[in-house]
Structure 1
Amino acid sequence: MAEFDAHTKTNIPPLTENNYLQWSMRMTAYLCHTSLLKYVTDPPIDLSGAAATAVATKHAEVVHILMSHVSDPVFDMVVTPDIAESPFSIWQNIVARFASSQFGCRT
């Protein structure tokens, strides 16, 4: 339970359509601090056995963190049932949806 409490006390505001830059900097720093950043920046690889179980646990932790730090409208934009267990895919959707719009250079 202590681990869950730590994740809920991050001081990271929920991601909205207007705060991506601040949110991404805070979230990146938090994930780096907790040694979880690689689960959103590196594509998943096929593993088996204990390694697969350990990575699945980390994926679930990062998915929980991401889903807990986005507003309901943003959640509906970036999380779909087919990627709901993939922190990498959720992160990619967030970046694709918000990164370019924050800098006025939509592609």
Structure 2
Amino acid sequence: MGHVFQQLVRDHNLPPVRLHDLRHGAASMALSAHVDLKVIQHQVGHASVVTTTDMYVSVMPQTAHEGAEATARLLRDAAREYVRGQRSKPSSRKQPPGSGGAIA
């Protein structure tokens, strides 16, 4: 199969590329498309998802950026929710004795 592929590359004046490079690229693009790692593992025929992640799946820059953005959103949203929760709690300050909470 490798010889046939190389002949096709030459016949069509494509840049030098190995069949294995396409396999790696396909796994990397699938990861960028948010395909589950177990699916990618099955597609490339690995016995372990660890092999897939260690050997073939590269984190593309856009995917890394999206991951950082998602993490930042999660933290920001959690902080906003915490602040909202603090604002809705009854005040823990005690009223001075005899004031009954009324303003004079």
Q: Larger Rg: 1 or 2?
A: 2
Q: Is the pair's TM-score, using the shorter chain for normalization, greater than 0.5?
A: no
Measured against the shorter chain, the TM-score band is: under 0.3
Q: Relative contact order (C-alpha < 8 Å, sep 6+): which is higher?
A: 1
Give TM-score scaled by structure 1 length.
Answer: 0.23
Give TM-score scaled by structure 2 length.
Answer: 0.23
